[in-house]
Amino acid sequence: MIGTEGCCRKEIHFISLSLHHYIKKLSAMSCILHIETSTDVCSVALSQDGVCIYLDENREGPEHARILAPFVSDAISFADSHAIPIDAVAVSKGPGSYTGLRIGVSTAKGVCYARDLRLISVSTLALLSVPILLRHELEDDALLCPMIDARRMEVYCCLYDRALRTIEPTSAQIITPASFAAHLNEHPVYFFGNGAEKCKGVITHPNARFIEGIVPLAKYMFPLAEKAVATESYEDVAYFEPFYLKQFVAQKPKNLL
C-alpha cells in the first residue's frame, strides 16, 4: 500500500500529449477510485487530479475474490480520513478473465450504488498501452498491439497508433505467422501483454517488437479515466456489463476414475 501524495506524478506528467490534453481541460480537481482485475494481478488506486495518492497491488495470483474488497475498503477509508471526496469509480471493463472482470465490475457498481458515484469504464487493451507510451521511445509511425491471453494460440487484441486511435478493433484472434503481416510490412508494431508472450516465436517479422512484463494496473488508468471525466463519458450503473468479447464456456472436468 502506498499512501503518499505525489507517487506516480512523474509518470502521469509525461503521459502522451493526446491524453494529457484532456486532463488539462478539467475545471476542478477530481478524485477517482480505480479498480483493475482483468488478469491475475489485482490492483486498486486513488487519483486526485491525475496524481496517485493511494495504491494497493497484489501480483501473487488470481485472488480477487478474497483481496479486492479489503483493498477497496482501505482506499475508501484513506480518502475519508483525509477528507477527500471521491467523485467517481473507474473499472477495467475488459476483455480479460471472465471471473476477474465480473468481480471487478460488480465491486465497482456496489461502491457507486453505496456512495452515489458515477461509473467510468476503461478498455483493458487501452490501459495496457499506457505504460508503453510512458516508458518507451517509439517511432513516429509505430503501432501498438496489446494482447491478452485467451487460450491455446488465441489472444484478445487490437491495434492503436501512438495517439491511441484505433487502427484495428478489438477481436479474438488465433495467432499464425501471417498475423498482422499487412501492418508489419508498413510499420513497426509493438506487441505486449500476457498474450504476447506466446506469440513471440510465431510472429517473426523484422518489424515486430516484443515488450515483456506489461500488465494492466490501476495506476495506469488515471489518464484514461480523467479523459472520461473531461468528456462526461459515464456508464449506466444499473445496466453496465463487462466487455467479455467471448461468452464464458464452462468445461467439464476430466473423469479421473
- CATH number, position 205: 3.30.420
Is 86 a domain residue? Answer: yes
For residues 180 and 163, membership in a common domain is answered with: yes
For residues 104 and 221, membership in a common domain is answered with: yes
Is 2 a domain residue? Answer: no
Is 51 a domain residue? Answer: yes
For residues 17 and 97, membership in a common domain is answered with: yes
Please give the tally of structural domains in the chain.
2
For residues 73 and 90, membership in a common domain is answered with: yes
Q: What CA–CA distance (Å, rounded) separates 181 from 82?
A: 52
Which CATH number does the domain housing residue 25 bear?
3.30.420.40
For residues 50 and 134, membership in a common domain is answered with: no
**CB within 8 Å of 230: residues ≥ 6 apart:** 22, 23, 25, 26
Is 30 a domain residue? Answer: yes
Is 168 a domain residue? Answer: yes
For residues 225 and 115, membership in a common domain is answered with: yes
For residues 21 and 55, membership in a common domain is answered with: yes
For residues 145 and 201, membership in a common domain is answered with: yes
For residues 82 and 67, membership in a common domain is answered with: yes
Strand blocks (E) in the chain: 31-36, 42-48, 51-58, 88-94, 118-123, 143-151, 154-160, 166-174, 189-192, 208-211
3-state secondary structure of 157: strand
What is the residue range of 155's domain?
A: 126-211
Q: What sign does the CA torsion over 207, 208, 211, 215 have? A: positive
For residues 221 and 204, membership in a common domain is answered with: no
For residues 44 and 69, membership in a common domain is answered with: yes
Is 252 a domain residue? Answer: no
- Give percent above pLDDT 70 in the chain: 84
Residue 239 grid cell: 445496466
pLDDT in tens, the chain (257 residues): 545 444 443 343 334 344 544 444 443 558 999 999 999 999 999 999 999 999 999 999 889 999 999 999 999 999 999 999 999 999 999 999 999 999 999 999 999 999 999 999 999 999 999 999 999 999 999 999 999 999 889 999 999 999 999 999 999 999 999 999 999 999 999 999 999 999 999 999 999 999 999 999 999 999 999 999 999 999 999 999 999 997 654 445 444 44
Is 248 a domain residue? Answer: no
pLDDT the model gives residue 214: 98
For residues 170 and 71, membership in a common domain is answered with: no
Is 1 a domain residue? Answer: no
